[in-house]
Chains A and B, each alone.
Chain A
Amino acid sequence: MATSLSYREKTLYASLAAELLVYGPYFFFHQQNSVNKVAGMIVAIIALQTVLQLMIAVVTRSRVTDERDRLIELRGYRAGYLTIATLMVVGLGMLWFHATFGQLRLDSHMVGLHFLSVFFGMLVIADIVKTAAQIVAYRRAL
């Protein structure tokens, strides 16, 4: 039986594509991170998401969402929360380890930028996991 994509599914695929397109180059091909780069990326993701969501809204006739959509959304948020909580614990553990036994100097002028980059990375990973978990739930019917 053919199951075409619902409005919510289309928006999720668009979100995932936008996230990978914007965040991918930042994390895999970055030279030097900066506050401006992070700010630019946030602007880029908002602009890209707006355009994509508008396009989907225009081409989709039925934009109904229901109880199953809300349940899947909650599952996605739970997956995202568990991811960010895990990353926080692991990240803080690594920070303690490197500050205690490694080369990390917390009084360095670059430490703020490193923190920004790491925490932003955690947010991005959690967001991607949230979206991916929702897509998987839709593909498995729930």
Chain B
Amino acid sequence: MPVIRNQIRELRATLEMTQQELADRIGVTRQTVIAMEQDKYSPSLETAFKVALVFGVSLEQCFQYDPNGRR
């Protein structure tokens, strides 16, 4: 289980948003969105806030910290 998990895929599906659209809105590449959705990359705080802003949710609703998780 990764250290930081996220609900990006679920939230994106709710808004019927493509990975490219999300990437364009938060200023990253589509490959970074894919890596975040697969829990392989933990974004910077700034990008995490941008993601939460795009989905209109709080940071905690989008990202969760798992103290027992492993990278």
Which residues of A pack against B, CB within 8 Å? 1, 3-4, 6-9, 62, 64-69, 138, 140-142
- Measured in the bound complex, the distance between the Cα atoms of B47 and A63 in whole Å is 19
Structural contact, A68 and B35, CB atoms closer than 8 A: yes
Measured between C-beta atoms, what is the minimum distance from B63 to chain A in Å?
A: 15
How many residues on chain B are close to A (CB under 8 Å)? Answer: 15
**Known interface pairs A141-B40, A141-B41; A68-B34 also in contact (CB < 8 Å):** no
Interface residues of B (CB under 8 A from A): 23, 27-32, 34-35, 38, 40-41, 43-44, 47
**Contacting residues, chain B, for A138 (C-beta < 8 A):** 31
Extra inter-chain contacts (16) besides given A66-B27, A68-B32, CB under 8 Å: A1-B34, A3-B31, A4-B30, A6-B29, A6-B31, A7-B29, A9-B31, A62-B30, A64-B23, A64-B28, A66-B32, A67-B28, A67-B44, A67-B47, A68-B31, A141-B41
